[in-house]
Structure 1
Amino acid sequence: MSRAENRYDPEAEARTQRAALLADAVAGLTAERKTLPCKWLYDAEGARLFEDIIRLPEYYPTRTETAILRGCAAEVAALAGPGAAVVEFGSGSAEKVGLLFDAMERPAAYVPVDIAPEWLEEGAARVAAAHPGLTVLPVVADFTRPFPLPRLPRGTPLLGFFPGSTIGNFTPDTAREFLRMAGRILGPGSRMLIGADRVKDQAVLEAAYDDAAGVTAAFNMNLLARLNRELGADFDLSAFRHEARWNAEKERIEMHLVSLRPQLVRMAGRRLRFAGGETIHTENSHKYRPEGFTALCAAAGWQAERHWGDADGLFSVWLLKQEG
């Protein structure tokens, strides 16, 4: 497995991430409506819990998207062309990208990009082992911000890959900004394969984000445990509960951590007050109708070239192409 040219320094990266976590936590938890960015859900423990979530019976997105990708991989590979490189934004465990490499002709490279170093290395190693000879160039970065690609042969076609309905974690405005940024990173003529969850029955949606086994609740609560571990906070996890709610107006699932009583929390020399019933908003998962998603992509400079779905209308996979 090859590495990107920018040397990865684990200690420096840990300091950078801790500083960013502190800045986000202070800004979000001192706001009138308390929030924490969902990217901080994915430390090593969060990543482990998310791997459990995707196997739950209530959590339909992963198995549905995987089935769609199996069906469309050959067509995507043909459109991407021989010798293409795949850049995966937020690669995580990198379990789905192998479906593309199985179908692609002489893929040039795999560039997984993720903020969680341990998860990135594990996923990159898995892809390298499954596809001998494939150049794998992992990049530790916050994929929601501009980052440099490793050097690739001139003229290499680039295929962005953004599965898992992660686009739904952004508000529509930030989703457009992300897609514009991805277009600048990938360059003219590139393509992007992206998964988007669809609007559906409220009960199905809420069950997917509040499973009977409590795994999603543990995943959400781990964010407070992370603040305790990394920032020296003193959150009492028994004084909060997980809540998933459907916001019909904005067509999104919201995840919250609800304070069960009035309480005072200390974090990094600050005193944070919580009223009983007050929440920390930790994640959004926007759901899209096909016409709305097409318009979103067009506003960001991408043309919807193809899209595929399942028979039950639960999920869509879109192949986008850079306009111009």
Structure 2
Amino acid sequence: MNNLECYNFQPKLSSFREEILQGLAQSQKAIAPKFFYDKRGSELFDQICELEEYYPTRTEIHLLKTYCGEIAELVGPQGLLIEYGSGSSYKVRILLDTLQHPVGYMPIDISFEHMLQASAELAQSYPNLDVMAVCADYTQPLQLPSYGKKPVGKKLIFFPGSTIGNLDPIEALHLLKQSASLLETGDGMLVGVDLKKDPAILHAAYNDALGVTAAFNLNLLLRINNDLEANFDLVNFRHWAFYNQDESRIEMHLLSLKDQTVMVEKTPFNFREGETIHTENSYKYSVEEFEAIANQAGFQAAKVWTDANHLFSIHYLRKR
């Protein structure tokens, strides 16, 4: 396909190894959620997005379909769309079908195989769109591939799925500042943000009846076994997710069901029964709280859309 280019800046396995060993050596063992997304992890997350309990995906899709015309007006013609964590590309198609003659699409994702497949399908579906697939960790400093094939109007960074909630507020501010540095004055950023709500709704979303979220969490140990020299026994760990009211966040952990020692790269790690590996946070915000962070990062809150039940929000931020 003449309209598909790939750039592989995937973090080296040595970086994965170092972060896992460092995380497991902490007093509160922890692994960054970006490591969920190997091929199987990405597939499991796509399944999570289809679950009845998991309201963020369907609510965000409803908002995108309802307000895509307004978004297109804000972006204007010949936009260059940059997406963090491209996943299955379903949501971005809603935008591409509505934007006025978009010239290019640049997905940035840490899961190379998953993104490459989705990008190839998208390049085939939109033959007049230049697709530049970038395998990279978007939470780290980025230098985007230059694009000069066609005149570009505004750039729009698209960060859906409430993934920004995986970062604590200081990290979210840092990412927004970093994003602003990739944009010119007047360019935009479209961000999905999960809102504060009844903890029972949150609990159900991260503890689904079919156990898909549990499988997604446990797959992290399987990935460590596969990619590193490790011997986690998955039957000795359990998915544990709860809402931390004080921090306004869902926490996901892997709970050790017994006293045990696990070897990772010839390094022993001891687990007490009931000890956990902290694998993810998902921070929840009010609209005003998130807009305050965006303002600190150099953005103007231009528009926000929420659903009738006030479960989820999409923010259009304009670079000042």
TM-score range, shorter chain: over 0.9
Once the two structures are superposed, the pairs formed by residues 224-303 of structure 1 within 5 Å of their partners are 224-303=221-300
Residue aligning to 2:14? 19
Q: Deviations over 1:179-225 (max 9, x none)?
A: 00011122332100010001111111011011011000000000001
Residue aligning to 1:85? 80
Sequence identity percentage: 44
Residue aligning to 1:97? 92
Question: Within 2, Cα distance between the matches of 1:181 and 1:201?
Answer: 32
* Mapped pair 1:201 → 2:198: yes
* 1:87 Cα offset (Å): 0.3
Question: Within 1, Cα distance between the matches of 2:265 and 2:103?
Answer: 46
Q: What TM-score comes out, normalization by structure 1 length?
A: 0.95
Residue aligning to 1:41? 36
Residue aligning to 2:211? 214
Task: Give the partner amino acid of 1:271.
Answer: P
RMSD: 1.4
The one of 300, 305, 313 equivalent to 2:302 is 305
SS in structure 2 at match of 1:139: strand
Residue aligning to 1:138? 133
SS in structure 2 at match of 1:138: strand
Question: Within 2, Cα distance between the matches of 1:276 and 1:193?
Answer: 43
Residue aligning to 1:162? 159
Say which is worse superposed, 309-318 or 122-131, in terms of deviation: 122-131
* 1:300 Cα offset (Å): 1.0
Q: What TM-score comes out, normalization by structure 2 length?
A: 0.96
Question: Within 2, Cα distance between the matches of 1:126 and 1:319?
Answer: 27
* 1:119 Cα offset (Å): 1.1
Question: Within 2, Cα distance between the matches of 1:215 and 1:5?
Answer: 31
Question: Within 1, Cα distance between the matches of 2:292 and 2:298?
Answer: 10
SS in structure 2 at match of 1:98: helix
Task: Give the partner amino acid of 1:188.
Answer: T
SS in structure 2 at match of 1:186: coil
The aligned length equals 317
- Which runs of 5 or more structure 1 residues have no equivalent in the other structure? none
* 1:5 Cα offset (Å): 7.3
* 1:17 Cα offset (Å): 3.2
8 Å Cα contact 1:163/1:194 also seen in 2:
yes
Q: Deviations over 1:219-252 (max 9, x none)?
A: 0000001111111210111111000110001100
